[in-house]
């Protein structure tokens, strides 16, 4: 029986998962602060930059805003 676990990306600065990261959150490309999410490279991105760069976020159902 195979189990699938959702990826848990870690912040490049503090090495914590998104829910526990206390770093200042802003898009590393445009410095935007709306709907910022941690991506697979360990950096935070806004939706337009994520889409432009084709970055994926961890699909966390218990994510806090």
pLDDT at 65 over 60: no
Q: What is the pLDDT of residues 33-61, one digit of tens each?
A: 999 999 999 999 999 999 999 999 877 54
Q: What's residue 59's pLDDT?
A: 73
- Domains of the chain, residue spans: 26-59
How distant is the alpha carbon of residue 14 from its chain centre? 13
Q: What's residue 15's pLDDT?
A: 95
Q: Please state, in angstroms and as integers, the Cα–Cα distance from residue 17 to each residue in 4, 60, 65, following that order.
A: 18, 11, 14
Structure token pair of residue 11: 């912040």
Q: Please state, in angstroms and as integers, the Cα–Cα distance from residue 44 to each residue in 3, 4, 8, following that order.
A: 28, 24, 14
Contact 62, 17 (CB under 8 A): no
pTM of the model: 0.78
Which residues face 37 on adjacent strands?
45
């Amino acid at each position: 029986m195979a189990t699938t676990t959702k990826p848990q990306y870690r912040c490049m600065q503090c090495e914590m998962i998104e829910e526990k990261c206390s770093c200042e959150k802003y898009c590393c490309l445009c410095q935007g602060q709306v709907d910022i999410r941690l991506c697979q490279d360990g950096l935070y991105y806004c939706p337009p930059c994520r889409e432009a760069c084709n970055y994926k976020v961890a699909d966390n159902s218990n994510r806090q805003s």
